[in-house]
């Protein structure tokens, strides 16, 4: 029963990651068209501040959020860099 729940959650997470990466590709296209740098540290900081506040509300450890989003952002930068020819 619990393994089935984990499998269902994993499937939902995968769908969400796919949706996020689809948007990242679009962002990479816009950045390429506008000759914008891939990494935006200000935006990255905004993401962390927003998510860490939500994590606190929900009782999620901040280090979990930092690890997960660090990976997501690194992958996003790689994808955007590919679109910019800067990988």
Per-residue pLDDT band for 86 (boundaries 50, 70, 90) equals low
φ and ψ at residue 38, rounded to 5 degrees: -70, -50
What is the spatial distance between Cα 29 and Cα 25, in angstroms, rounded to a whole number?
Answer: 6
What is the spatial distance between Cα 38 and Cα 82, in angstroms, rounded to a whole number?
Answer: 10
What is the spatial distance between Cα 23 and Cα 53, in angstroms, rounded to a whole number?
Answer: 23
Q: Per residue in 62-85, pLDDT tens?
A: 999 999 999 999 999 999 887 665
Mean pLDDT of 40-50: 96
| Total number of domains in the chain | 1
For residue 15, the domain's CATH number is 1.20.59.10
Tokens of 24: 């990242």
Q: 39 with 77: CB under 8 angstroms? A: yes
pTM as predicted? 0.85
Domain that holds residue 36: 2-84
């Amino acid at each position: 029963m619990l393994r089935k729940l984990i499998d269902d959650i994993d499937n939902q997470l995968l769908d969400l990651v796919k949706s996020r990466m689809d948007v990242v590709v679009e962002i990479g296209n816009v950045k390429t068209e506008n000759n914008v740098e891939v990494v935006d540290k200000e935006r990255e900081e905004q993401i962390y501040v927003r998510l860490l506040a939500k994590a606190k509300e929900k009782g999620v450890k901040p280090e979990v959020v930092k690890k997960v989003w660090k990976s997501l952002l690194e992958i996003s930068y790689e994808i955007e860099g590919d679109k910019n020819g800067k990988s």
